[in-house]
Structure 1
Amino acid sequence: MFTLAVRSLRRRMSAFTASFLAVFLGAVLVMAFGSLSDTGGAEGVSDTDQETLVTMSTVVGGWGLALVAFAVTSTLTLSVRQRATEMALLKSVGATPAQLRRMILGEAALLALAGALTAVPAGALAGRGLLALLKSTDQVADDVAFAYGPVALGTGLGVTVLGAAGAALLTARRVARMRVVEALGSTADASSGSGRMGRGRITAGVLFLLGGLHLSVMAAVAGPEGFDSMQFAGSADILFGIGMAFFAPVLVRWATAVLAPPVERFGGVSGYLAVLNLRQRTAQLAAAMTPVILFVGISVGTLWMQVIQNDANAAAGVVTNAEDEAIETLNLVVTGMVVLFACIMLVNTLVAVTAHRRREFGQQRLAGATRRQLLGMVVLEGAVLTAAGLAFGTVAALPTVLPFSHAKTDSWLPDPEWGIWLGTAAVAVVVTLVALLGSSRRALRAPAAEAVAVAA
C-alpha cells in the first residue's frame, strides 16, 4: 500500500497541489516564528532581548500554530474525502480497510515531509525578515545574531507532519467504513452530503470557542496599561474563528435557509442550481466558507483593535512614542503575514473544491445546462458563501474588539470602523469570485461527455 501511495502521488500531482501548498506555507509561517525562540536562546543575547524574542515566538507563533494546524488538517481532509469513489473501487477489488488507512497515511506523510522540507529555506528567510523588523523597530539590539535551530525545525516539521497524519487517520477511518455501493453511487462524492458533524468535531469546535472566550475575558480584565490586553485579544479571534469553522456545515445550512428565496427568485436557472448545490453539497461548500471566516475574523479584529489603541492614546493625550509606533508597525506586519496565509488558503481551498467538480459540471451540461448558466451558478454560490463568511467572520472578530475596547476605553462598544470592514469585504469578494470563476472556467473547457468519462 505504501508503493500504491507513492504511485498515487505521482499520478495525481495536480489533485495534491492544494494540500502541498497548505503544508508548505504553514511550515514557513511556523518555522519563521520558531526561529525567534532559537535566536533568543543563543549565547550572548541579553535577558531583555531574549524575553522579547521568546514572547513573540510563543504568543504570536502560538496562535499562528493553531491556525496552521487547522488549515493543514482541513485541506488534507478535503483532499482525501474527495476520493471516496476511488477508495470504494479499491475495496471492491479486495483492499481491506487497514490497507486503505495505510495508503492514505503514507500519502499524507510523504506530502507533509515534502512540503515541510521544502519550506526549510523559506522559513529561514522569513525568520531573518522578522528579526530584521524587530531590529528596525528597536525591539531587539542590532548585534543579535539570527539562529535557526531545533525549535524552528521541530515545530515546523512536527506540526505539519502530525497535522497531516491526524487528518489522514481521521478521514481514512470514515472512508474505510463507507460501503462500496454507497461510495460508487452518483451522489456519493465525498464532497457531497449533508455535512453531518461527528462528536469529535463538535467537541473540538466547542473547545476552541471556549478558548477564544477565555482569552476575551483575560483581555477585558487586563487593564488599560501595557500590552497584555492586546496579546490576549489578538489571539481570541483566531481561536473563535477556528471554533466557528468547525461548525461550518451548520452555518452553511443557516445561510442557505436565509438566502435561498432571493437567489431562486432572481437567479433563474443558475439560482435554482446554486440553491440545489448549497443544500446537497454542504460538506464541500462548508470547506470553502471556512477560510472566508478566518480571513475576515483575523483582518477585522486585529486592524480594529489597533485603531482602538490609537484612539485611546489620542483621547488620553498620550504622545505616541517610538515604542508605540514600533509595536504598531510590528502588529501590522505580523498580522499581515497571518492574513496573507489565510488569504492564500482561501484561494487554495476554493480552487481545490471547484476543480473537483468537473464531473458534476459535465453531468449538468449533458442534462441541458449551458456554460453560462453553470458559471452563474458558481457566482451565486460564491456570493452566498461570501456573504455568510463576512457575517460569521465579523462575529468571530467581536471577541477581540469588544473586550479590548473595554480594557482601553472602559466601554464595550467601540466606534464603528466601516472602512476596515468594507476593505476586508472587498478583498474577500474579489478573491472568492476570481478564484471560483477561474477554476470553473478551466473545469468547463473539456466537452461534457469527456469530463464525465474522465472523472468517473
Structure 2
Amino acid sequence: MIAIALRTLRHRPGGFAATFLSAFLGASLLMAFASLLDTAAGADEASAESLGTTASVAGGWCLVIVVFAVTSTLSLAVRQRGEQFAVLRRAGATGPQLRRMIVGEAVAVAVLAAAVAVPVGLASGRVLLGLLKDTGQVAEGVGYAFGPVALAAGFGVTLVGAVIAGFATSRRTSRMGVKRERPRARRIAAGLFLGAAAGCAVLTATVMDGKGIDAMQTAGQAGIWGSIGLALLAPELLRLTGSGGQLASAVMPVTLFSGIATGTVYMQGIEDDAAAGQIRPDYARDIQTLNYVVVGMITVFVAIMLVNTLIAATVHRRREFAQLRLAGATRGQVTTMVAGEALRVTVTGILAGSAASLFTILPFGSARTGEIWPSATIAPYAVIAAIAVLLTATATLGTTRRSIRGPALLRA
C-alpha cells in the first residue's frame, strides 16, 4: 500500500496541493522561530533570554495552529476521495492497508513540504533576528544560526502532525463505503480547547491582574485555544444558521483568522492605552515587538490557509456544479448559490471568531485597565471582517467561475 500511496502522489499531485501548502507554510514558520534557539546558543546572556522568549512563546502558538491546519486540510483531502477508497475496499483492500496508504501519503507530503521549507525558514529567521536587533533586544554582534533545533522543529513537528492527521482521518475509511464522521470525538476535542481557553482567561483576569504586559502571555493563548475550539464546532454552528454541515471545512479557517487577528490586535490596543505616558521596563518592548511579529506571521499563515482550504473545497465540487447545469441551472444560478453559501460561511466564521477573541480581550482588559469592556474603536474589527469577506469571496467565487467554464457534460 505504501507503493500505491507514492504512485497516487505522482499521478494526482493536485489532490495534495492544499495539504502540501499548509505543511510547507507551517514548517517555514516553525523553522524560523526555532532557529532563534540555535542562535541563542552562541549569544550573550541578555540576548539569549530575548531569543528564547520569542522562540518559546511564538513558536508554541505556531505549533498548535500548524498541527491543526495540517490536520484539517488532510481531513478534507481524505473526505474528497471517498469513492476511491470505496473502490479499493471492494477490490479487497483491508482497513489497515488503507490506513497505511493514507498515512504514507501524509508522511511523503510532509517530508517534501518540510524540505522545500528549509530556505524559506532560514530567510524568515534572519528577518526575525533583524527585527529583534533593530529594537535593541538582541546585541548587534550576535550571528544568526540555523541548525539542528530549527531542522528538528520543522521536520519533526510537520511529520508528527502529518502522522497524527493521517491516523485520525484514516479511521474514517475503516468501514468505507459510507463516509463516517465522529462528532463525539470532535466535540470532546472542542470542549478541551474551550476549557483551556477558559482556564487561560481566568488566569489572566486573576493571577495576572496587575502584572502589566506579562498578562499578554496567557491572554494570547486563551484566544488561540478558543478559536480552535469554536472552529471544531463549525458543523454545529452552521446548523444554527440553517446551513448544512458540509460547509464546515470552510468555516474553520475563517474562524481561526478572525478570532486570532481580532483578539491580538485589540489586546495590543489595550496595552498601548494602558501604558500611555508610563515608563515601561525594557522587556516590555520585547513582548510588544513579539506580539506584532506573531500576529503578523500567524495571521498571514491563517489567511493563506483560509484561501487554500476554500479553493480545495470548491474545486472538489466541479462535478456537482456540472450536474446542476445539466439539470437546467445556469452559470449565473450556480454562482449565486455559491455566493449565498460563501456569505453564510463568512458570517458564521466571523461571529465564531469574534466570540473566541473575547477569551483574550475581556480578561486582558480587566487585568490591565480594570474594565471588563475596554474602550476601543470598531475600526480594527471592521478591517478584519472586511479582509475575511474579501478572502472568502475571492477564493470561493473565483474558483467557482473557473470550475463552470466549458461544457457541463465533460465535467459530470
Per the normalisation by structure 1, the TM-score is 0.87
Aligned to 1:310: 272
| 2:5 corresponding residue in structure 1 | 5
Mapped to 1, the partners of 2:281 and 2:48 lie a distance apart of 23
Matched, 1:243 2:241: no
One-letter code aligned to 1:352: A
- 2:409 corresponds to 1:424: no
Given the alignment of the two structures, is residue 201 of structure 1 paired with residue 186 of structure 2, yes or no?
yes
Give, in angstroms, the shift of residue 320 of structure 1: 6.8
How far apart are the structure 1 equivalents of 2:305 and 2:137? 30
Q: Which residue matches 2:241?
A: 255
| Structure 1 stretch displaced more, 147-156 or 229-238 | 147-156
1:443 to partner: Cα distance: 1.1
Letter in 2 for 1:370: T
2:336 to 357, 371, 376: 376
How far apart, CA to CA, are the structure 1 residues paired with 2:227 and 2:37? 26
Does the 8 A contact of 2:339 with 2:393 survive in 1? yes
Query: Matches of residues 166-177 of structure 1 in structure 2 within 5 Å?
Result: 166-177=164-175
Residue 365 (structure 2) aligns with:
405
Gaps of 5+ in 1: 183-189, 257-277
Task: Find the aligned partners of 1:326 and 1:110 in 2 and give their Cα distance.
Answer: 38
Which one of the candidate residues 291, 308, 312 is aligned to 2:253? 291
The offset of 1:373, in angstroms, is 0.4
Confirm or deny: 8 A CA contact 1:220 1:404 kept in the other structure.
yes
Aligned to 1:218: 203
Q: CA deviation at 1:313?
A: 1.9
Residue by residue over 1:381-439, the C-alpha shift from the partner in whole angstroms, topping out at 9 and shown as x without a partner, is 00011011111100000010001101111111111430011000110001100100111
Match status 1:387 vs 2:347: yes
Matched, 1:81 2:97: no
Residue 176 of structure 1, CA deviation? 2.5
Q: What is the CA–CA distance in structure 1 between the aligned matches of 2:125 and 2:287, rounded to whole Å?
A: 18
Q: Does residue 1:443 correspond to 2:411, yes or no?
A: no
TM-fit CA distance, 1:296? 0.5
One-letter amino acid of the counterpart of residue 214, structure 2: D
Figure out how many residues of one structure are paired with residues of the other and give that number: 411
- AA in 1 matched with 2:195: L
| Cα distance per residue 1:198-228 (max 9 Å; x no partner) | 3322221111111111111222231334422
Matched residue type, 2:238: V
Deviation of 1:113 after TM superposition, in Å, equals 0.4
Q: Distance in 1 between matches of 2:403 and 2:162?
A: 27
Separation (CA, whole Å) in 1 of partners of 2:45 and 2:199: 30
Partner Cα distance (1:98, 1:197) in 2? 18
Moved over 6 A (4+): 320-323
Answer yes or no: is the 8 Å Cα contact 2:50–2:286 preserved in 1.
Answer: no
TM-aligned CA deviation for residue 60 of structure 1 = 1.2
Percent identity of the aligned residues? 48
In the superposition, relative to structure 1, how do residues 61 and 399 fare at CA in structure 2: closer, same or farther (>3 Å)?
same
Superposed CA RMSD in Å reads 1.7
Q: Deviations over 1:27-65 (max 9, x none)?
A: 00111111111211x13x222222211111111110111
Taking a change above 3 Å as real, the CA distance of residues 57 and 321 of structure 1, as seen in their structure-2 partners, is closer
